[in-house]
Amino acid sequence: MVAVRKKHGYSYHYQKALQEWMEFNTQSAKKLNIDVDGHELGYIRDHFDEMEQVKIVYDWGKGHFFKVKWESRSWWADDHSHFYYCVMLDIDNVNLKQPNEVLS
């Protein structure tokens, strides 16, 4: 088994990817000379959660991983650049709980 150093968990990467997504689209809007209002930023923010993809990955030599990926092209139709953020979070030796243990 390969030793994996834990640096940051899901919450850290979620916030970091969200920040990068918002900056990516804000910069894209500037490049296209688009004025972005609060409503439009809200739609861009909501799309972030819709583009999240999650997968369990198992590798006999390395262990179990929770692969989280946020991927989409720019919010603006005239900008064909692409946003990609992906992490593999080690889930071996994680304390897993039943839903009722978390909710009670």
What pLDDT was estimated at residue 6? 58
pLDDT given for residue 3 in this prediction: 44
Which residues have CB under 8 Å from 26's CB, separation 6+? 36
State the residue range of the domain holding 61. Answer: 10-103
Q: Is 23 part of any domain?
A: yes
Check residue 71 and give its pLDDT: 96
Q: Which pLDDT score is estimated for 17?
A: 97
> Which residues of the chain, if any, have pLDDT below 50?
1-4
- What is the pLDDT, as a whole number, of residue 5? 52
Is the residue at 1 inside a domain? Answer: no
Asked if the structure places residue 3 within a domain, the reply is no
Does some domain include residue 67? yes
**Number of domains, the chain:** 1
pLDDT in the model for residue 1: 37
